[in-house]
Structure 1
Amino acid sequence: MQISTLEAIEILGTVAFAISGSFAAMQKRLDPFGVLIIAFVTSIGGGTVRDLLLGDTPVAWMRDVNYCLLILLTSIATIFFKTHIKKFKVTLFLFDSLGLGLFTMLGIQKGIVFGLSPGICIALGTITGCFGGIIRDTLLNTIPLIFKREVYATACILGGVLYYALLYFNLKDDVAQIVVMAFIFALRIVVVRYKLTLPRFGF
Structure 2
Amino acid sequence: MKVEIHNVFKNMRYKFFQTEDGIYYIVEIKPSFWKTLFPFLYWFFPFPVYKVEDEKTIEGIQTPESWSFDKSSAVLATGGVAVFIATIFRGKIEMFKTELPLYIKIIFLIVMIFCVFLIRLFVNKVKFHDLYKHVNLKQLERFEIKVKPQSFKHIGQMFASYIFFLFFSVMSYIMFFLDGNVFVLIGGAAMLIMFSLVVNITVKEGLTKIEFIK
Rg larger for: 2
Q: Quick one: higher RCO (CA 8 Å, sep 6+), 1 or 2?
A: 2
Indicate the structure with greater strand content: 2
Indicate the structure with greater helix content: 1
TM-score by length of 2: 0.29
TM-score by length of 1: 0.30
